A and B are shown apart, each in its own frame.
Chain A
Amino acid sequence: MSARHEMTHAGISFRQGWRFSITPFRLVLMAISAISLALIMFRLITGLGLVTNLNDSWPWAYGFPLTSCAASPWRAAATAPP
């Protein structure tokens, strides 16, 4: 992976330089990137509420593991009527 000799300002030539071989690990990384990009788009369209499962009465903490579960005592404490 070296492109130093053929790089010019006007037209970038990669004749000698760039090689990008697909390895299994890189496939995994690309999959993670693809999922992340999809999640970013989803979050920008729907807003933070749906993605984080947080709301005005439970505005902080990492929402999913503890509070997305309906039986969670945390969730019960947060949403219980006063």
Chain B
Amino acid sequence: MVVNTEVNIGVLKLNNPVLVASGTFGYGDECKEMVELHKLGGIVTKSLSLNPRIGNPPPRIVETTGGMLNSIGLANIGVKKFIQDKLPFLKSIGTSVIVNIAASSVDEYCMVLSLLEEQEGIDGYEINISCPNVKDGGLSFGTNLSITVEITKRLRSLTTKPLIIKLTPNVTKISDFARAASDEGADAVAVINTLVGLAVDIRTRKPKLSTITGGLSGPAIKPVALAKVYEIARSVKISIIGIGGIMTAEDAIEFMLVGASAVQVGTANFIDPSTAVKVADGIVLYCTQNKIDSVQKLTGAMQY
């Protein structure tokens, strides 16, 4: 049986439902020697800001049980250098290119998106309003409903391309934020960004990250992410891209069954940069074994 792997995220058609998550795959070129990039459902770039950001002081990474904390602080080359140095390669791969935007103000989001709108070869935007590791913007946007509304509304007015709002789980009721994004015309929400976490070195009694707290990712957060996707799926009609600790095809299928139309592989890329390709293959195998002719049919198919 031939399985149709195409999925739709609003007006965006993906070759398969497995993308690589922002901040876990650089700008695509870093992994070209090791990964069959054209087999990815899409690449979500490292977050881009208007100007380059140097990121946070070390230590930025600490491993925890079944996961890791990071405090990178949106280190990136800036949108202009991205357009000049990275976009030509991304365009050449033959997979969907989603550019992730992070900013310290609503105006900065708009300026970055406007610069990208002038370029060919970008298939959509993912808006990071949920980074826990920066002082300005980041979580303070993603946990504020009226700013979430404003950012979505302003960016919607600037582009007809797919607009994906990446939400933070660090709120009381994430479905309120998904609904706000949906009401303002976003095509999809990406769920979830990292959870705020902390680790302490008891020998030195110091926090293990320079910023004290960081963002928890990896398999440890998968059940939390699944619950958030489930909550949102019962609340809004727009597409959901599920993210959170996906290591295997089984993990990805769980996200689809609770309501995700597509998924992103994040932390797993650090361990095996081909994870997303393997996950996509595994989803097809599952569909074949279960006589499902289209992966779209998995979305929301949880029995309960």
**A and B: bona fide binding partners:** no
B interface with A by C-beta (< 8 Å): none
A interface with B by C-beta (< 8 Å): none
